[in-house]
Structure 1
């Protein structure tokens, strides 16, 4: 066949395609081969493979497949200073108060290995998913690694976030409804503990530092008080200042009495004999008052370490240190209370909008949906195989 003949055939086919595309397709060899192959396939019973596969799916989803129950809970995250005693509707929905970043953090934590490890440690989640009561295709393999376990857990966990209200919805699948509810309840508890540790860590460190400083200042105050007591016991004085004031009063009285007795002595010496009994007695009183006054002044102002002025100066130093330690301790107590308030203010809470539920009906597997999907996919696959075989035969021809 020469080139001109081929060109003429191509032109005729193009004109036919342009004039009547449907007829062109029906008259084509590929369509005839596909129609022949399809009829032959049905005649030979190859479509029975599709029927058999679909029957196996019906058998599995109808009898063998294990039921999976879903427990659902809804939460929002609120900071302690945002929680009201009687929250209004907007606060309950998290509007204007929910920390979006904290919600994303708890979203990640709930699907993490740390959370899975806590659930498995407390409730034996891995053993539950590997239970022989579940069918072979639904349960976790007995030799599954940690990575496979985590992937299986995430496949049975669904977390949805409402961007508008900040509500986080948790859905977990398990083979028993009550067990699923226990797992979700523990997830909420561990999630609240985690978010508190995360947001409260800095405040706790600050509070621990303040508490240690308060304890140290309290010890210092006790030491200074012990020094003051030892000082008072050593000098047999409760208050050197009061004693000094009393001694000054005594000196003043002695000084005044000495002046009166000296005046009386001079008056007597004017008209009496120096050896007269009254004059001698007056002289003795003046001399006694003079000695007593000198002695009391020496106790007040002597350079001796036991003198009242030295004792009072030392006492004032001890008293200042004791008072300073007490003031530091009081300031520490105030700071500690402020740190506690700040720590509470930074505390976050998981407010449960919807408590974990115990399902009465199994939501998984979705039998009708899965069977319909499998049926459509089997028919499409079968059609593609038949069309592929028809195309191969056309090329062979």
Structure 2
């Protein structure tokens, strides 16, 4: 049994739970013992509970209703490709490496392809073949988030294309992965296959443009080289007709031969003259004849030597030094023209050889896949993220509220 306490002034018993003072022997005054009251829900608590319902539960329920009731399934098809360059050596590589001048693959081509897959041009081409407007507007307005609205312009379709087609590009390796979403697996695979076809057509267009430009430039260079060679040869022929000398160097060699012969004759005449002086007198007719022969040979040698630098030896009054300078200049021009012609002819052969084969091509390392189950929308992931961010928002707002309340 529980003990009861009698109130002094009334004599009525008091329940033990109502006792607030306890008298102890030897103390002048009783001691007070605080008692906690019963917990009650206050207005601010109701506000927090209401805010949880409005900011977390209600949006989460609406999101779940939309995802599981209204949102339509989406199927994904994945394909992968890259740009490759032909690595086989050609004949031009063996003749000075001229093939490096005439194009080939480069890292910039992969960047072009990456931008092309997301461009308006490829969207227009595939829309003309597959009717993207009809396919992506079929779920409107039942699924307004994952469907395209009717009457969308080409700019709107390009924007929606960026949502439905995800392109992953590795710049270091040049590999490109494309994921296409559609209402059914067959449509997703078809669109992915069209992306590969249109990308290959773009690469072929780059090849064709490069071939055409390279061949045209090589032919223009060859024509210019032929004209230069023709002018150089005509100038040399005109020089020979004008000077009546086929080769000045050969002419000089001939004149040097004559000079050497005259010097030999002079030596023989001097010897004969000395022999006559030993056996005959000075007024001997034979001695005078030998002396005249010596004088004639010496004069002839002097005249031949003078013609090399002083006497005009051609019909147009051109001296030999200038004549040789002109001839050497014409030979240099002709040699340079012949070298240019050979290089231009080799370049044209290399351009035609490169044009006969495809230097750039699209290599598909993943063919467009056919999905067996819907991969999008990711309902559980979206719900989890929605709950997380809503809880985070509610927590921030609650902290702001209590901070302002405590300051007030």
Normalising to structure 2: TM-score of the pair? 0.50
Q: Distance in 1 between matches of 2:387 and 2:63?
A: 9
Cross-structure match for 2:364 = 352
| Contact 1:79-1:345 at 8 Å conserved across structures | no
1:190 corresponds to 2:195: no
| Contact 1:81-1:345 at 8 Å conserved across structures | no
Q: Distance in 1 between matches of 2:219 and 2:198?
A: 28
1:54 to 51, 60, 66: 60
2:46 to 37, 40, 43: 40
Q: Distance in 2 between matches of 1:211 and 1:181?
A: 45
1:73 to 69, 79, 82: 79
| Contact 2:167-2:177 at 8 Å conserved across structures | yes
Cross-structure match for 1:103 = 110
Question: Residue deviations 1:93-128, cap 9 Å, x none?
Answer: xxxx97422111101101001011101111111221
Q: Distance in 2 between matches of 1:161 and 1:196?
A: 21
| Contact 1:203-1:343 at 8 Å conserved across structures | yes
Aligned length: 231
1:129 to 109, 132, 136: 136
User: Which has the bigger relative contact order, CA under 8 A and spacing at least 6?
Assistant: 1
Distance 1:342 1:365, change over 3 A: same
Instruction: Note the residue ranges of structure 1 that are not aligned, 5 or more in a row.
Output: 1-34, 84-96, 213-332
1:143 to 145, 148, 151: 151
> How far off its partner does 1:342 sit?
1.6
Cross-structure match for 2:174 = 166
> How far off its partner does 1:383 sit?
2.2
Question: Residue deviations 1:23-43, cap 9 Å, x none?
Answer: xxxxxxxxxxxx977523245
Distance 1:111 1:338, change over 3 A: same
SS at match of 2:124: helix
Q: Distance in 2 between matches of 1:150 and 1:126?
A: 11
Over the aligned positions, Cα root-mean-square deviation in angstroms equals 3.4
Deviation >4 Å, runs of 4+: 35-38, 205-212, 333-339
Cross-structure match for 1:391 = 403
SS at match of 2:356: helix
Could you say which structure has the larger radius of gyration?
2
> How far off its partner does 1:47 sit?
2.2
> How far off its partner does 1:71 sit?
0.9
Higher helix proportion (structure 1 or 2): 1
